[in-house]
Structure 1
Amino acid sequence: MKKVFFLVTVVFFTSCKNTKKDTIEYSKETLNVTTSSYPENITKVFEAHGGLDKWNEMKSLVFTMQKQNGLEISTTDLKNRKSLIEMPNHTIGFNGEQVWLHSKDTLAYKGVPKFYYNLMFYFYAMPFILADDGIIYEDTKPLEFEGRSFPGIKISYEAGIGESPEDEYILYYNPDNYKMEWLGYTVTYFTKEKANELHFRKYSDWQNVNGLLLPKTSVRYNYEDNLPTTEHSVTEFIDVKLSKEKPNPTLFEIPDKAVVVE
């Protein structure tokens, strides 16, 4: 999902379930501010995690994950979403226009760089990533799991937003403290069509980074009939750095011998 600079979507909510949008064109200014209003329930979720004002002050996010073949370090410019993923054998980057892959040896990269380059950033930047422009919010039925009920907020996107505008998310939160507890999501990148099958990640382990609650772990769950069942795997996020300083822009430039991914 990319920030929209010359078109600002102003969203007016007449109820918790419906949205109505007007658009304003700005031809002379480059805008990089949040201009939408939000439903009360997701506003309380943002506040429970430190607040959008503090999040919007930040310009750089770095986090590390331990993978089977070594450390994976992700760096993202929060204002333009340029990104860099450094792995033992490969580097994936996004310079704002193109995704590129640099292989450090002869080992082939087995993933899909254009799908993966911002995937874990989206999972990690929860719930604040759900404040981006071009989002439509709706209340949805709660998630019932192990005798507890978690209210849900459905997230969908306006046409043309990001690589997969057909993606949908459901944020489920703790009704007692409004902290995020679960994420339900569809995967449409490969089909480019709306999907009905929900995947699930659990968020209940948080760490305080510069006054903001960000995930310490994310637990991927197996699923059946659009419900989580049993744990699949745990991702731990370490060495998290959230800064008001912009990352060095040269990090995202396409290096020699890198391949631009179409």
Structure 2
Amino acid sequence: MKLFLPILSVIVLSIISCSSPTPQTETTTAQVDSLASIPDSWIDERVAEAEQRLNASEAGALVWQAIEAHGGLDTWFSNGPLAFQFNYQPLDGSTPRNTYEVADYWSARTRHERIDTLGEYGWTGKQAWVRPADANVPYNTRFWSLTPYYFVGIPFVLADDGTNFELLGEQTHRDRPYDAVKITFGENIGDAPDDYYVVYIDQETKQVDVTRYIVSYPGYFPDGGHLPEKFMDWTDHQTIHGITLAQGFDTYWWKDEQPAEHITAIEVSRVEFMPDITDAYFEAPENAKVVTEM
């Protein structure tokens, strides 16, 4: 998974109980200017730039068509930050990860509530943090802060600046024809610029049904390299406030140009937009530990 911090966004509360997972925010007149949501004029400018940039190539135009088919980039940003539960269950006995996340896709900021135990972690747009400071989190929180964010945000995150597109031709999945587009990233874009993705765009619906990808995160591969490619099959779609996202993913190793061993089951649930979340919500809270290691 790529920790991608959009260039257009500077490259970029207390612990919430499991029984009451929705972030509690009270918006007063004094707080209006600090909402994480952004002005329509900013959205218009960013959408216009992305539309022009993506439509400059055949491959990029296909990605733009997918974004439109999933609800449109203007609606995506206008809805405000997105909240969802991301239940990641490995099938090989390794560590599961199950969090309720609020993600600000405009500025690449996240905050996670752990479902398995009390605790939180997140990404402020500049640094990762975890709370309580002595929490034993058995996986890399800096990496994982933006991992669900990126997968759930496809195809919208593919419009971020710094992305390159390559048309790979036609692929068949479940007896349906797809256009396969490979996405790579410019030098020094995000924490893992060597990552790549391949999305399968249905030739009829223009929606994405498959994501292939590699993980080259330097925290896992300090000397270079990456995991073998994975094949992430979207289990279904769900539409919330005009935006269509994946309902879940079944992930397989990609071998000999086809999916092989089933390695992960992921459910995406409790999805809703949070337009009243404030900027302060994404800052590291008191008594949190800043995560400095990759």
Structure 1 length as normaliser, TM-score?
0.80
Q: Which amino acid aligns with 1:115?
A: F
- With over 3 angstroms needed to count, the CA separation of the structure-2 counterparts of 1:70 and 1:181, relative to structure 1, is closer
Q: Which amino acid aligns with 1:55?
A: W
Distance in 1 of aligned mates of 2:71 and 2:242: 6
Greater helix content: 2
1:234 Cα deviation after fit = 2.5
Partner residue of 1:60? 81
1:66 Cα deviation after fit = 4.2
Partner residue of 1:202? 233
1:153 Cα deviation after fit = 0.5
- With over 3 angstroms needed to count, the CA separation of the structure-2 counterparts of 1:70 and 1:100, relative to structure 1, is closer
Distance in 2 of aligned mates of 1:61 and 1:163: 22
Contact 2:9 2:107 in 1 (8 A): no
Contact 1:198 1:227 in 2 (8 A): no
Q: Secondary structure at the match of 1:33?
A: helix
Partner residue of 1:86? 113
Contact 2:84 2:272 in 1 (8 A): yes
1:146 Cα deviation after fit = 5.2
Distance in 2 of aligned mates of 1:46 and 1:70: 28
The percent identity for this pair of structures is 23
Q: Which amino acid aligns with 1:57?
A: S
Q: 2:158 aligns with which of 130, 150, 168?
A: 130
Tell whether 2:120 aligns with 1:99. Answer: no
Tell whether 2:248 aligns with 1:217. Answer: yes
Q: How many residues align?
A: 239
Partner residue of 1:260? 290
Structure 2 length as normaliser, TM-score?
0.72
1:170 Cα deviation after fit = 0.5
Contact 1:91 1:103 in 2 (8 A): yes
Greater strand content: 1
Tell whether 2:293 aligns with 1:249. Answer: no
Q: Which runs of 5+ in 1 are unaligned?
A: 9-29
Partner residue of 1:3? 6
Q: Which has the higher contact order (CA 8 A, sep 6+)?
A: 2
Contact 2:176 2:202 in 1 (8 A): no
1:74 Cα deviation after fit = 0.3
1:67 Cα deviation after fit = 6.1
- With over 3 angstroms needed to count, the CA separation of the structure-2 counterparts of 1:70 and 1:44, relative to structure 1, is closer
Contact 1:89 1:107 in 2 (8 A): no
Q: Which amino acid aligns with 2:190?
A: G
1:230 Cα deviation after fit = 4.6
Matches within 5 A, 1:144-183: 144-145=172-173, 147-183=175-211
Contact 1:140 1:151 in 2 (8 A): yes
Q: Secondary structure at the match of 1:96?
A: coil
